[in-house]
């Protein structure tokens, strides 16, 4: 497995994500994960609590396929409240590092009006590239 961060010359260094990832290996697509447990129970209604649980769910799928956080190539985040995210950026970074460490793949964040599960405040989908 090869994964290289791509940063165009002259661009400012991104904060907490990569502009591009060039990878070779087996591709794992992880469907959108929300902040509920394996039993599909929400244990918190806080943005940070749900975000951390969604990341833990991604990690569980990743590990089930034999992967680790450094194999993540892309995360797409869907949040229902932009202000909730912006007001908690420090806690977002702390929760992210608790679960995924210091690997920062290419990321996109989209603000949406709602998610399918009414209690969900965030949904994150992932793409990972695992060793051959």
The overall average pLDDT reported for the chain is 96
- Among residues 126, 130, 131, the alpha carbon closest in space to that of 56 is found at 126
Q: Which two tokens stand for residue 92?
A: 């977002």
pLDDT of residue 16: 83
Q: What is the pLDDT of residues 46-86, one digit of tens each?
A: 999 999 999 999 999 999 999 999 999 999 999 999 999 99
* Percent of the chain topping pLDDT 70: 100
Asked if the model's pLDDT at residue 1 lies above 80, the reply is no
Q: Which residues contact 73 (CB under 8 A, 6 or more apart)?
A: 3, 21, 23, 105, 106, 127, 128, 129
pLDDT the model gives residue 19: 86
How many other β-carbons are positioned within 10 Å of the β-carbon of residue 4?
11
Give pLDDT, residue 15.
84
Q: Domain 2-130, CATH 3.10.310.10 — does that match?
A: no
pLDDT at 101 over 90: yes
């Amino acid at each position: 497995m090869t994964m290289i961060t791509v940063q165009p010359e002259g661009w400012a260094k991104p904060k907490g994500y990569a502009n591009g990832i060039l990878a070779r290996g087996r591709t794992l697509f992880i469907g959108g994960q929300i902040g509920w447990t394996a039993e599909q129970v929400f244990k918190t209604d806080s943005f940070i609590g749900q975000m951390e649980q969604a990341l833990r769910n991604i990690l569980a799928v990743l590990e089930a396929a034999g992967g680790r956080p450094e194999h993540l190539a892309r995360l797409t985040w869907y949040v229902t409240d932009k202000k909730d995210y912006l007001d908690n950026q420090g806690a977002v970074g702390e929760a992210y590092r608790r679960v995924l460490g210091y690997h920062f793949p290419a990321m996109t964040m989209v603000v949406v009006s709602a998610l399918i599960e009414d209690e969900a405040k965030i949904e994150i989908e992932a793409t990972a590239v695992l060793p051959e």
